[in-house]
Each structure stands twice: as C-alpha cells, then as structure tokens.
Amino acid sequence: MSHHCLTQTKIGKKYLVALTGLGLSLFVLMHMLGNLLILVSPEAYNKYGHALTSNPGIYLAEVGLVAILFVHLALAMKLTRENWKARPVGYAVVSSGEKATSLTTRSMWAQGILIFVFIIHHLITFKFGPHYEVEYGGVMMRDLHRLVIEVFQNPLYVAWYLVALFALAFHLSHGVKSSIQTLGIHHPRYFNKFKMAGILYSVLVGVGFMSQPLYVFLIYKG
C-alpha cells in the first residue's frame, strides 16, 4: 500500500489509526509497569526514571512518540468527520463490522480528546514540574518520587487522574480489538476472543495506573 493510499483513502487512514493505536497501547503498558515501582521503594522508582531520562536515545524516542500520537489523533478525528458526513447518526472510528455500535465506540473521539488533554496536563505536572534532587551511591538524580507523593496528596488531582484513566481504559477496550480487526484478523470465530482481550488489557492497564494515585492518597505514610 503506497504512502498516498495510507494517507488519502479511508482504509489507509484506518490502517494507520490501528497501527499507531497499537504502538501507543504498547507504550502505555510499559509506562504503567514502570509506575508500579512506586510500590517497591523511592530508590527503585527514582533509579528507573533516571535510567530512562539519562539515556541519549530518550529524545529520539520522545519525538517518535509525539509523532505517533499526533498521527493517531489527527487521522482518527478526520475519520470521525468523514463518518459524520456519511452517516449523521451513529459513529465508529474503526468499524468492527457490527451493525449497532456501543456507547464506548461512538464516543471514541470524545475519549481521545479527554486523553489528549490529560497527557498535556500530565506532562506539565510531572515532566516539567518542580525539580527535586536526591543522591544514590554518589549519583545525583531527579527525585520524581517526592513530586509524585506531593501531587497525589491533592484529592482534586487524584479525582481528575482517575476520571482520565477510566476514559483511557474504555478507549483501550475498544481500540485494541478494533485495531487487530482492522489489520485483517476479523474472522467471526475470533470476535469474542478479541473483544475479551481488549477488555482484559484495558482492565490491566487501568488498574495498574490507578494503583499509583490510590496507593499514595490512601495508603502511603512516608
């Protein structure tokens, strides 16, 4: 499939939305697993963050991630507009072949916007937030653990964080299944399996992410 087809035809845009969505889903999983280190110790959490940010390849990875995110968002919104024009009632970013679409499917665009706003706020709060330092074995590094503890003491931020994570979980539950089907695996025999895989994946990621603010707000005593 040529570059022109991928960016100009509807099926091409669906393929790119599916591929970028799966890529972002993999990143989200890795990010969630890293976050769980807060349950281990401040040192483990900070050393993990330092290992990532001190790697020279981090800048290339960040540029690539931002590019994938914008391609996913831009093409998904473009498909949304096309679907609205073609069929004013009912909507799906990536059609799964079902005649009736669920609320989750029809609100994918709204979930995407909410998640995008959350990402911007998340970066402002943590990546570009207060820079505390700590030393381990003679190596100075950012004390991200301290910042996370401070932020998640705020009940309003915790509530906003959980709402955004629920949106992310719903988005993943449909997105993973639809992406796999869009890429050509859509035999009726596997439909329920893909649907269940999407739900399990979204629950895993959602619960994993939610454990961090809930642990800090409800359990962590310092």
Distance CA 163, CA 182 (A): 28
* pLDDT for the residue 2: 47
pLDDT of 216 > 80? The answer is: yes
Nearby residues of 180 by Cβ (< 8 Å), 6 or more positions away? 18, 22, 194, 197
Amino acid at site 217: F
Distance CA 148, CA 79 (A): 37
Mean pLDDT of the chain: 86
Q: What is the pLDDT of residues 75-127, one digit of tens each?
A: 888 888 887 777 655 444 444 444 445 666 677 888 889 999 999 999 999 99
Distance CA 118, CA 162 (A): 11
Cα→Cα distances 198→22, 37, 68, Å: 11, 25, 21
Q: What is the pLDDT of residues 151-161, one digit of tens each?
A: 999 999 999 99
- How many other CB atoms sit within 10 Å of the CB of residue 1? 10
Span 53-77, average pLDDT: 92
- How many other CB atoms sit within 10 Å of the CB of residue 25? 18
pLDDT of 7 > 90? The answer is: no
* pLDDT for the residue 5: 53
The conformation of residue 100, written as its DSSP 8-state character, comes to: S
* pLDDT for the residue 143: 97
* pLDDT for the residue 1: 46
Span 36-46, average pLDDT: 96
pTM greater than 0.85: no
pLDDT band at residue 186, thresholds of 50, 70 and 90? Answer: low
pLDDT of 135 > 70? The answer is: yes
Higher pLDDT: 91 or 206? It is 206
Distance CA 67, CA 58 (A): 14
Which residue shows structure tokens 């359990």?
Answer: 219
pLDDT of 133 > 80? The answer is: yes
Span 172-194, average pLDDT: 78
Span 137-160, average pLDDT: 96
* pLDDT for the residue 204: 95
Nearest-CA neighbor of 209 among 88, 39, 51? 39
Span 193-214, average pLDDT: 91
What domains appear along the chain, each with residue ranges and CATH number? 3-91+101-219 (1.20.1300.10)
Distance CA 189, CA 122 (A): 40
**C-alpha count within 13 angstroms, C-beta hemisphere, residue 52:** 14
